[in-house]
Amino acid sequence: MPMNRRQFVGTLSAAGLGLAIAPSMLSAQPAAASKRKRYAIVGTGARYSMYQDAIEKDYKEHAEIVGFCDANPGRVELARARSAKNGAPVPPGYVAADFARMVAETKPDTVIVTTVDATHHLYLVRAMELGCDVITEKPMTTTADAVQQIIDTRRRTGRHVRVAMNYRYSPMRSQVKDILMSGAIGEVRSVDFHWMLNTHHGADYFRRWHAHKKFSGGLMLHKASHHFDLVNWWLGATPATVTATGKREFYTPEMAKRFGLTGPHERCHTCPEQQKCNFRLMLAQSPMNKALYLDQEHHDGYFRDRCVFRPDIDIEDTMNLVVGYDNGTTLSYSLNAFNAWEGYTIAFNGTLGRLEHNNVEQVYGNDPGVVQTEGISTRLIPLRGAARSITPLPSIGGHDGGDKPMLDDIFLPSMPADKYLRKSDERGGAASVLIGIAANRCFATGQPVKIADLVTGLTAPDFAPMPARHGPLPMPPRRRAVPRLTALHKSPT
């Protein structure tokens, strides 16, 4: 049977987080006190391991894990086994209903939340109420009501919220921020931003729990919150209005039939048309997927490999929106989840020129099934001037080199001042997800949405200074534009 989501998130209710009293079969006594900062991790799926390995390897002199918590006890045990493999003390494990007891027994300074998106706020709010600071994966949450709860709880408790926006830390994206801060193109008046997901990565969102908005908020939250945060941070501005359209036209039962299948089936693992479908995901062939998902299905019934064409999916695969900012800038954005290549193109149009930044992350090569990395380019075009290419800064490592500097910023006890102000708190987290929340409301109503109508008491994030939007500007040079074809084909004299 497919997973009944009551099993998946039923133990994650606010009542369960606060009132659980039954002893956990996984718990053990916490380690002796130390001077290292103490972290507990809730959510031991695919994303948590970045934090675990960082704490137990790279930052073990400054940090330690004191507890794991998850709705699936099998995955908790995998996390504990990973600690042993890392040569670290093995923390106690707790089931989701025992979250409050974990905090009481292990006394973490900070709780790291890497659960299903729609449950982030439950743990963030409860952890702050229990006296902990919190770090959360993006998106911070998925609904306006949940954003309001986080804002109100942080203000009431005085605890600290950190949203792990690793894209800001990518060297090439920090370089874009530096160019914009320098005033090389003046003040930005409009942005054109287009993100493409291919049919490997893009299709994967339609297999998992992400395919249902009640868990992920759709791609406008789970995926695009990264992108919206980048634009907010690049511009040093906050969103004010959103107009959007969205649809699902590729990952549908009709498309399954058009590709020659008899129809969508429940999952790849038992699909009778496995060999005919090039969208299949074979969990048993991946040691990680087998251990993390296939071998843990008996605990919660969650299928990681559901058919991407099934009819119960309710998220969009094609999205377009226009965002108006508080400083007058306009963003035109699109996200497509079935593209021929993966990556993005973005252009900033300023009063003194244009900045173009492209990242072709993956393309399909000549070898069947092989996806190749292509390249990054950045180009500055002064107003009435010749374009010049800018060599992108090397961006090696996870999330285009963003993971390591972000982890340094989180776990090292002291860091030099950051001129770009890349650290994001609940204000930055809210500013990014509220665009997606507004977009979802636009999809449902066909009407534009004002961000101020969604929450109250939200103040602007701290941003690095950007070029002034008033005062004199240098007059552009008096030059005549030459048609491109004329310039290429003009005969020598």
List, for residues 198-223, the tens digit of each pLDDT value. Answer: 999 999 999 999 999 999 999 999 99
> Sorting pLDDT into bands at 50, 70 and 90, what band is 412?
very high
Query: What pLDDT shows up at residue 486?
Result: 54
CA torsion, ordered 48, 269, 264, 142, to nearest 10 deg: -10
Cα separation of 358 and 467, whole Å?
A: 23
pLDDT at 481 over 80: no
Residue type, 322: V
Q: Write the pLDDT tens digit of every residue in 349-359.
A: 999 999 999 99
> pTM for the full model?
0.91
Among 380, 421, 392, which residue's Cα sits nearest to residue 232? 421
| DSSP labels, 55-105 | IIIITTTTEEEEEEEES-HHHHHHHHHHHHHTTS----EEEGGGHHHHHHH
DSSP-derived pairing of the beta strands 93-95 and 110-113: unpaired
Query: What pLDDT shows up at residue 262?
Result: 96
Mean of all residue pLDDT scores within the chain: 91
Contacts of 156 (CB under 8 A, 6+ apart): none
| Segment 21-41 mean pLDDT | 61
* 397: phi then psi, degrees, rounded to nearest 5: 115, 180
Cα separation of 318 and 321, whole Å?
A: 10
Query: What pLDDT shows up at residue 12?
Result: 42
Residue with tokens 């493999």: 85
